[in-house]
Structure 1
Amino acid sequence: MRSGNPVLKNDKIFSREGSFSSKRAMTINGTVNKTYFLLLLTVASSAWSWSYPELYSILLIVGLIGGLITAIITIFKKPLAGYTAPVYALFEGLFLGVISAMMEQAYPGIVIQAVLLTFGTLFCLLTAYKSRLIKVTENFRLGVVAATGAIFLIYALTFVMGLFGMSMPYIHESGLIGIGFSLVVIVIASLNLVLDFDFIEKGAEAKAPKYMEWYGAFGLMVTLIWLYLEILRLLAKLRDR
């Protein structure tokens, strides 16, 4: 099974990890509980970093680099997810707290709007998935994977261009093209949530090992954080018009 989320993309992941007895196997409830825990850690860490404006520069770098390193470790060492996923949540909280505080200062009220839209999207898509209004077919997966890859390629190119003092025109601006681009990215990030739900459900059905609950929760957090940042970006563009 394949997920568009780079963290959850390997379609043979469950066969590699093996299946276990009920007590040692991955469950949906277990994954949900661990997702709540990671969310709590992220929120707590964000609130803490928000409160120290004099440390924003340091916290931003520490959160960004620390989150990247722990994410890579989690992806390649899945059995360690129970240890690395909480650390990832704490690092990402540092990063998100600084970004959110800076955005709130520039655009008052934007953070609560982004949070509500993020979790509103999560709830709506979860409802649609559970009621089978959205069915995860192979073509659906392939489309989301391809679109996600294209977006990250654009972001990577934007980063490289930035190193040479250049910028990609239009898509990061507040014009119609920039807003349209942000809307497309948000839709694709949202569809990744559906693939994450499918990954977790299939993992539970395959009786994947218990630590895959942490890995599934970690993957869902990666998508939620991406979605939140993209919604923040869209709202900022709309405020700038």
Structure 2
Amino acid sequence: MRQSPLFSNIKTGEAYYDDIDCANYKGICAKTFFLLAIAAIVAAVTAFYIPTIIEAGNFGAFYIALAISSIVGFVSVIIGRFNDRAAKYASVIYSVCEGLFLGCLTVIAESFFPGASTVAIFSTLIIFVVMLTLFATGILRVGNGFRKFAFGFSLGAIALILFTSLIGLFIPLQAYIWVLILVELFLLIYGVITLSLNFAEAQYVVESRASKGAEWSVALGLMVSLIYIYVEVIRLVIMLALNRD
């Protein structure tokens, strides 16, 4: 029996609105770049004004800004990753806080090694492009085995952080600088692994036709991984600069 054109149009319209209401790669990319832009702008403004604050001897404001941005950023990540409805607002708050944190960190890093922020930006970009290419082409597959490996790697990362924090209480920094460099490389690899998990999460959200709100949660996850990688590269550059001296 010939289907009514009106009924056909109604079905087509329903499918169209279903596609609009569901998460997609375009939405995830747009939201991720939006959050990155917020963080970059806030970081640039912070890096511009921080030297003036330090020269004025107002170190209290500097440390308070670092502490508040870290705490609020951490809380916003927890909220945004577990609540899709709040993810939009939590993601923006996180980006602002991390922009403030990164601005302060960049000023510190540049004092140790001029150009450290440039190295970190390009390194993060290269890592992102390479890992995205490997994932998109199917060379990198994130299955149960990979997830178990990532979990074990995360436990190793926590153990290394505790270990280096402990020996730092008894041994001068220069005495174990190469140990710290190796630890930073390990933690950087951990960041790359979490980025791969973010790509898999994005794929799952899109293929399972999750709500548009899930795009913010995925974008937030990508932001966390990218900023983590940037910070670890900065730390690695600082360690290498200290070892050179």
Q: Calculate the TM-score normalised by the size of structure 2.
A: 0.81
Q: In the alignment, residue 174 of structure 1 is paired with which amino acid?
A: I
Q: Quick check: 1:50 aligned with 2:52?
A: no
Q: Deviations over 1:13-48 (max 9, x none)?
A: xxxxxxx93221111110010000000000011111
**Structure 2 portions without partners, runs of 5+:** 1-16, 54-60
Q: In the alignment, residue 197 of structure 1 is paired with which amino acid?
A: F
- Structure 1 residue 96, shift from structure 2 partner: 0.8
Contact 1:74 1:215 in 2 (8 A): yes
Q: Corresponding residue for 1:204?
A: 206
The separation in 2 between residues aligned to 1:197 and 1:141, in whole angstroms, is 13
The separation in 2 between residues aligned to 1:190 and 1:172, in whole angstroms, is 28
Q: Corresponding residue for 1:178?
A: 180
Q: What is the correspondence of 1:115-154 to structure 2 with a 5 Å cutoff?
A: 115-154=121-160
**Structure 1 portions without partners, runs of 5+:** 1-19
Q: Corresponding residue for 1:193?
A: 195
* Structure 1 counterpart of 2:97, from 82, 91, 97: 91
Higher helix share: 2
Q: Corresponding residue for 1:70?
A: 76
Alignment identity in percent? 27
Q: In the alignment, residue 85 of structure 1 is paired with which amino acid?
A: S
The separation in 2 between residues aligned to 1:169 and 1:137, in whole angstroms, is 42
Secondary structure in 2 aligned to 1:21? helix
Q: Deviations over 1:147-182 (max 9, x none)?
A: 1233135436766x59xx83688899421x322222
Q: Deviations over 1:35-90 (max 9, x none)?
A: 00000000011111112221422321221111112112213322211111011100
The separation in 2 between residues aligned to 1:187 and 1:178, in whole angstroms, is 14
CA distance 1:86–1:120, shift in 2 (3 Å): same
Corresponding pairs, count:
218
Identify the range of structure 1 (38-47 vs 48-57) with the bigger mean alpha-carbon deviation.
48-57
Q: Quick check: 1:103 aligned with 2:106?
A: no
Report the aligned-residue RMSD.
Answer: 2.4
CA distance 1:238–1:101, shift in 2 (3 Å): same
Computing the radius of gyration from Cα coordinates, the structure with the larger value is 2
Secondary structure in 2 aligned to 1:136? coil
